[in-house]
Structure 1
Amino acid sequence: MTYLNAITYYLPSGRLTNEDINRDFPEWSIDKISSKTGIKERRIAAKDEFSSDLAVAAAERLFAENAAVKREEIDFVLLCTQSPDYFLPSTACIVQDRLGLATSCGALDFNLGCSGYVYGLGLAKGLVASGQAKNVLLLTAETYSKFVGASDKSSKTIFGDGASASLISEKPVGFSIGDFQYGTDGSGYDKLIVKEGGMRYRESSNEEVTDSYGNQRTEADLQMDGQAVFVFTIGSVPRLIRDTLRKNELPQDAVDLFVFHQANRFMLEHLRKKIKIEPDKFVIAMENTGNTVSATIPIALTTAMTEDRVKKDARVLLAGFGVGLSVAGCILTKVGTV
């Protein structure tokens, strides 16, 4: 068996509140923003603060809070980020050095957002189960705020920055990691996209485009077709939940807690009702963080544990969905103290 032994997260100190957004966009009331998104404030990385900085801070917190986690025992680093420090090298290599991990340690980035944490657990489990690594440090780190256009009020209300750190090993502490279900619909690749910066659109046009809702963006900014992402999510996530349960040979009522990617309150409530999940089994934890992309699930799971919502032997279903377009689900079972 493979286990998620420890988990924590880190948020930058900068804040963007609903009051701040309302001052810039008076047509969006504070109550409207809060009721639609479920978010009151987002944490924002400083101009000189990047994904490696957030990842290192999350990892250092993991080492400080868990005496059993020793940095010299880490033999692989997985970093999920869509906002790397550089086009190359891999940000995970920078993090390995800054954390003082062994030079015999493997390190790689993988570019996936909203479902990235679940994918990362799957990759980490594969490394441990195949004997390629004994102690995998799984990091997520996102600074999406750097992609958001100054006049893009829609994305400003949703996205925040943050990072998480998790330890995966064969040590039977924390959560056992069950079977995974994945899904991809690459035909929707352009529904959440930053067009410029890669090889296809190398040169910046700096041309600003205004959508039908009044959001202004350049092609170097995050572009999101919210309606298309919503339609994909509502269609694919119920199927993901059914397939994840089937893969783990469980009925839905055997799950004690559902932790979904924290996209926004409206979408989460729609999913909860459609899948018929009781409110007390469903986690919504984005009020003071915003949508931190690949970090939302570990933040929400940690919040649920802090609130004593995860008892011994509890089964937790994780579900990620979004950019790609992609989905991923798995089952965790609580076996001991995290």
Structure 2
Amino acid sequence: MTTVSLTDVSGYLPGDPVPAEFYTEYPGAEDKLRDNPMFRIPPLRHHVAADETNADMVERAVQPLIERHGRDEIRSVDVLLMHSQLPDIPFVGPGTEVARRLGLKPRWLLDVANAGCASFVQMIELARTILTTTDANTALICNAQSAAGQLFTQPEVRKLAQAAIPGDGCGVGYLTTSAGAPVLDVVTRHVADYGGDMTAVLEDGRKYWEPGESQLRIGFTEEAIATVMERGNRLVPEVVTELCRRIAVPTSEIDLLVTNQPNRTFLRNWREALELPKDRHPDTFDTCGNLFGAAIPITLDRAIRSGKVKEGDTLVLGGFAHAGDFAGATAIRWGTGS
């Protein structure tokens, strides 16, 4: 079988860090959910600029890959996969615009709409499938998250506990048919029973595209939060444990676990369930907030650039999405070709 490697990753964070006071000192910033562990406020996060698009962020995130591998190599990618947590316009994802900006002419171009915070894992699985079943040799996978500086800074939404948690950013991965950093296996799980449990709310009951004055927010309630916490605490250790069984590596021997970064409670519970010390589970929550789908590639990129990843390390990337309708994990053997 063709070997597929996660050859490189890079990330981009927009603007200067935004402090927690941007939310906590905002007039009327009261919410009965503010003390819930789901909404413990990170000190910092980043926001997209008013005119910054998903394609802008991808273009900036890809620049380190161009510098390390050459513009011609990146321009020749066969597969482009794109996930945007908040599309800039209806109907059309940013994938085609990204291809135009970067000068790509991919044979495969897909805008991925599901898998949310774990979409980097899903796109690794999709890229690996395409690269092993066709004559394609390279893939670029991109996660752009721009909801924090747009959706969650609306004047009424900004008062809510949910608003201070997200941050914006973009992470990208470059996959090749080489032996440099092989993808050992991927486990993904679509849980259809939980589909539709994540909801968006408009107080006047209108559809989001209909004219009106109420501001779109996520439909969090104490009951819904308890359900999401239970599912998230269970699903991520389950898929990581199944993955480790398949590659014959005990969870306690994972060299580095990189997950999505929803809140401190999930991060602690996941590493405890998998018997991992904190120094083997990189954490960007306090400096970036919840980066949704961009969290895994950005956190991995930081770990690599800070020297936490060594040749031969077994890396596990994992997470879950939305209210638990998707969970996935993948194992990478980091190597000299990375």
- For the criterion TM > 0.5, the same-fold answer is yes
Which of 157, 164, 172 matches 2:171? 164
- Give distance in 2, aligned partners of 1:68 and 1:179: 29
Unpaired runs of 5+ in structure 2? Answer: none
Which residue of 2 is the match for residue 147 of structure 1? 151
Look up the equivalent residue of 1:147 and give its one-letter code.
L
Per-residue CA distance 1:220-272 (angstroms, 9 max, x = gap): 33334433221110122221122111222222233111111111112211222
Alignment of 1:180 with 2:179, yes or no, is: no
Structure 1 alignment gaps of length 5 or more: 209-217
Structure 1 position 108 matched with structure 2 position 110: yes
For residue 42 of structure 1, what is the amino acid of its counterpart? R
> Aligned ranges for residues 160-309 of structure 1 at < 5 Å?
160-173=167-180, 175-194=181-200, 201=207, 203-204=209-210, 206=212, 208=214, 218=215, 220-224=216-220, 225-309=224-308
Q: Is the 8 A contact 2:144 2:169 kept in 1?
A: yes
Match of 2:45 among 38, 42, 52: 42
C-alpha separation between the residues in 2 aligned to 1:50 and 1:289?
18
Q: Taking structure 1 as the reference length, what is the TM-score of the superposition?
A: 0.85
Letter in 1 for 2:144: A
- How many Å apart are 1:194 and its aligned residue? 3.6
The alpha carbon displacement at 1:300 in A equals 1.1
Residues 306-338 of structure 1: CA deviation (Å, up to 9, x unaligned): 221111110011111121621001111111153
Report SS of the residue matched to 1:70.
helix
Q: Does the alignment pair 1:75 with 2:81?
A: no
Per-residue CA shift, 1:44-99, capped at 9, x if unaligned?
Answer: 11221121211122123321243487233212210012322222333101110111
**RMSD (Å), alpha carbons:** 2.7
Q: 1: distance between equivalents of 2:244 and 2:71?
A: 32
Query: Following TM superposition, by how much is the alpha carbon of 1:38 offset from its aligned partner in structure 2, in angstroms?
Result: 6.7
Cα distance per residue 1:3-45 (max 9 Å; x no partner) = 01111011111542112222116669xxx89996472211111
Correspondence for 2:11:
9
Q: CA deviation at 1:297?
A: 0.6
After alignment, is 111-120 or 183-192 more displaced? 183-192
- Aligned-partner residue type, residue 156 of structure 2: S
Equivalent of 1:89 in 78, 87, 92 = 92
Q: How does 1:314-333 map to 2 (within 5 A)?
A: 314-323=313-322, 325-333=325-333
Moved more, 313-322 or 235-244: 235-244
Aligned partner letter, 2:137: K
Mapped to 2, the partners of 1:221 and 1:27 lie a distance apart of 15
Structure 2 letter corresponding to 1:176: P
Q: Pick one of 122, 126, 129 that aligns with 1:123.
A: 126
State the alpha-carbon separation in 1 of the partners of residues 234 and 258 from structure 2. 18
Secondary structure of residue in 1 paired with 2:25: helix
Contact in 2 for aligned 1:181/1:247 (Cα 8 Å): no
SS at match of 1:288: helix
Residue 54 (1) aligns with residue 57 (2): yes
Calculate percent identity across the aligned residue pairs: 21
Deviates more, 1:323-332 or 1:266-275: 266-275
The 2-side partners of 1:106 and 1:257 are apart by 31
Per-residue CA shift, 1:83-123, capped at 9, x if unaligned? 22222333101110111113x54311001311100001111
Q: Retained in 1: the 8 A contact 2:256–2:309?
A: yes
The amino acid that maps onto 2:219 is Q
Q: Distance in 1 between matches of 2:253 and 2:233?
A: 23
